Every structure is written in C-alpha cells, then in structure tokens.
Amino acid sequence: MSSTGVEPDVATSASFPLPFRVMSLTCLGIFAWATNLYGLYACGIDVVSAMNLRTEGYPPRSLSILPAHRRNGHAQRHVTPPYTTFYSITFVYFIWFTVTYLMFISASHGDPDAANAYSYIPALAILVVLTLLICPFRLLFKRERDKFLHTLSRCMFSRTTSPVYFSDVVFADVFTSFAKVLGDLWLSFCMFLPGNSIASPPVDLGWKRWVLPTVMSLPYLVRFRQCLIEYALPSNESRRPLFNALKYATSFPVIYLSAAQRIVLLDLSKEKGVEVYKQSWHGEHYLFRLWLLSAIVNSLYSFWWDVTYDWGLEILKIQSKNLARPPPPRQLPLPHMNSGTPLLVRRGSQESIESNETRFTPADGSSVARKHGQTLFPGLRSVLLYPTYVYVALIFVNFILRMTWSVKLSSHLHLKTSSNYTILLVEVAEIVRRWMWVFLRVEWEVIKKLQEGNPNAMSENGDDRAYEMALPIQGEHSPTL
C-alpha cells in the first residue's frame, strides 16, 4: 500500500489503462511493419513481388502486369515506395492515440476512481478506430483498410481447395504475435461494462473463464487451418505442412492449461490456505506440471522451426548420414515476378553467386555488399543477403524471446501482473521478435524462389500455379498487410 492509500499496481493501471496499452501496441505493430517494408526495400528486395501482394478487392483504374516504373520501355511517373503509406498510417494513428491519452490522463490524474469516471475516453478512442476500419467512405487510407479486411477474411474463411499464398502466411504469423493483444482487447471491452473497473481486469467465473483463452487461440487456429489446407492440396507432396500444423497445435495446450490454473489454486488453497494465491510456483500439482511441459515443448519446437524452416538455416537441421552432400552454391537466376520487377536488383549481369561478394543495388539506388558462398559462421546457409552477424544475433535473440512464450500465452500470468508494465514489456519484446523474423522469412522465400527457378510460386510449399497480379500503373504498390 502506497502513501496515498492506493495499491501500486492499481495506480499504475489507472495511469495507463489496458485499452490504451492495446492501442500503443497496435501502433508499434504498424510501425514495425512499415520498417520491415523499408528495410527489405533498402536491401534490394522487391517485397511486393516477393510476397505476391495483391490489389484484389479494390479494382484500379488501369491494370498492368508490369511495374509502375516500366511499361513498354517507357518511364512512368515515380513509384511511391511501399513503406511510405504505412509510415503515414502510423503517424495518424499515433496522433489519435496521443490526443486521447492526454485527454484521459489530464482528466483522471491517475486516480482509480476518476479513471473509472472517465473510462468513456479510451472506449471512444477504440470505438473510433474500429469504426474507421470498416468505414465505407474513401477517407483515411481506404485502400489499405480494404486490403487489411480482405486479407483477414481470406485467411479466416478461404476455401479449403484454394492455395495458401505467402502473403497470407506472413500475415497470419504476424497475427499470432498479437494473440495477447487480442486477448487484452477482449478484456478492455469487458472493463467498459457496468460494474467493472478500468483499473483492473474482470474476474470471470464458470464457463466465462474459457472465453479469454479462446480469443487468444484464434490466430493460432487460423495458421493451423492454413497448414492443413496446404497439406491437403493435390499438388502437395510433402509432410512439412503437417509438422508445421503440429507446431501451432502445441500452442493450444499452453493457452487452455493456463486457464485451468485456477483449478490448481482452488485445490492447493484447501491445503495451504490463501497464501497460495501469492505464489507463482505450484509444481506439486499435475495441471501445473502439464502446463509447464507444454510451454517448454511449444517454445523449443517453435524456435527450431523458425531457424530451420522459416529462415532456412542449417545449424539445427536434422540430416541423415546417407544423404549426399548438397551441391556447391550455383548462380541464381534473377527472374521477374508477374509485376515485372526482379526480386533482387543486382548490379552487373555477369556476376556469379559463387563469388565471395556480390553487389546488389537496392531500390533506392545505393550499393550494398552481400556475402555469399562460404560463411564465417558454420551452420547458416550458402546464400546470405545480410551480414553474417545478423543471423547469429537473431538466432540468439529469437531463442531468448521464444522462451518467454509461456508468459505471452498464459492468461493466469497476465492476470497476476496485468496492472504493471511487466506484461507490456513482454508484448513489446514479442513484436520486436516478429519484426526481426519477417526480414529473414522474406529473404529465405526470395532465395528459395530464385534457386528453384520458380518465381511465380505462390504458396508456401512452392505451388507453381501463378497468381494474376493486377498492379495499377500509377504505382500504388501498397502491400496487403
């Protein structure tokens, strides 16, 4: 109890309520995606072509399969880089968040009672954002809002006979990193209901205790469904989508066993009394041990899959001794996507991928050196578009942050620390981890397409059915995400 008579956690939550934390994390996520686009664009990767980003659902005035800057050999007007729109969205969203938060904090002064009295301010702030998202009028990034909703609908309700496109894979994976944010959004709505407080999350009893874990599991269910669709496609001859689906399936026990920890507390409180509610370790109970085991399995499996399959690195790859040694690095062709833009812009047509150094010309015209062939650090791969230390650092950071997976997915831990900044920092760390993940995931997809000589492969498993991309002549290369 503080000198003011208010518990520190309650005071902290009153000064920065959960609804505003949801808005701040959403703003950070949009900004992270904008920097992903900028970084890939600066490294010479045509992210629009590499991710097969579509403009479906918003017919342009004129269509062409060529990029906006080149048609019939004639130069067109300057193409707007794809990241500029998302920087603008981040700026507008940040201004709205800042204005509404300053209004709230100036009215409540961090007092819990006053915070409840002015809870309509964060409620209005979120309501305006959600209303604008589905607004049919052509204002405030109508094109990007329509693309987002269309992509979300396609990921959740696409037909089981349709291929899963790489842009949808990235979108759904990014969505899994916001599972806790999605749960926080649900709790925020509950806080606005009569009888609840904005300074503390409501305590759900009975069947309601399973609503929050179900909401948090939705992103993993979407990705799980995508993997099963990929596995069932007639063109698929690999079991990899099935093992990928297993990775997402391991998240469900973590989420629901966490919700079951209230049963653990009830059982142990009969023996130890109310002091058990202040403890975090309950290893004597079988449900707690099952939750801990499922969290470890999910974290290690996800980390291994990130490094081995999402990034294509060989450090953790399981290989049979009978397998022949892979061929040496070969020169990669530079085919064009349907947009007519090379995936990688390389200076000098005679340069070979076997050389120690190849220079790529990023989209902004600068020259960036990239190492290829043998790497100084064993266990990576023969083709690298980033410096070697980037991969080593990202493997280490990804391992550390993956080990916090149980915190991100465990609602019983959130309820214990939701009134302070611990969980907020964990959520920020997860967004940062996903931000780093995107760079290597897109890079590996580009390399696979170039090595396979199949730049029009649209699904994650290399489905060779081309997807008709319609890109506007005016250069509206706005990504789907």
Number of neighbouring beta carbons within 10 Å of residue 322: 5
pTM of the model: 0.79
Average pLDDT over residues 395-411: 78
Average pLDDT over residues 56-80: 40
Looking at per-residue pLDDT, the higher value among 109 and 348 belongs to 109
* 350-388 b/e (C-beta count within 10 Å ≥ 16 → b): eeebeeeebebebbeeeebebbbbebeeeebbbbbbbee
- Highest averaged pLDDT of the listed ranges 45-54, 123-132, 467-476: 123-132
Window from 176-180, 214-218, 453-457 with minimum mean pLDDT: 453-457
Taking alpha carbons only, the member of 72, 65, 71, 76 closest to residue 336 is 65
pLDDT at 274: 64
Query: Rounded CA gap, 412 and 282, in Å?
Result: 13
Average pLDDT over residues 315-335: 53
Taking 90 as the threshold, does the pLDDT of residue 468 lie above it?
no
pLDDT at 227: 96
Taking alpha carbons only, the member of 143, 166, 57, 69 closest to residue 442 is 166
CA atoms within 13 A on the CB side of 242: 7
Q: How far is CA 142 from CA 25, 55, 88, 169, 471, in A?
A: 22, 12, 13, 23, 17
pLDDT at 32: 97
Looking at per-residue pLDDT, the higher value among 277 and 313 belongs to 313
Looking at per-residue pLDDT, the higher value among 335 and 389 belongs to 389
Query: Rounded CA gap, 390 and 111, in Å?
Result: 45
Looking at per-residue pLDDT, the higher value among 27 and 349 belongs to 27
Query: Strand, coil or helix: what is 363?
Result: coil
**pLDDT classification of 424: cutoffs 50, 70, 90:** confident
Average pLDDT over residues 394-417: 72
Q: How far is CA 243 from CA 123, 211, 302, 369, 405, in A?
A: 41, 28, 11, 36, 19
pLDDT at 450: 83
pLDDT at 471: 26
Number of neighbouring beta carbons within 10 Å of residue 109: 11
The DSSP code sequence of 58-119 is S--SSEESS-TT-BTTB--SPPPPTHHHHHHHHHHHHHHHHHHHHHHHHHHTT-HHHHHHTT
Q: pLDDT over 70 for what percent of the chain?
A: 66
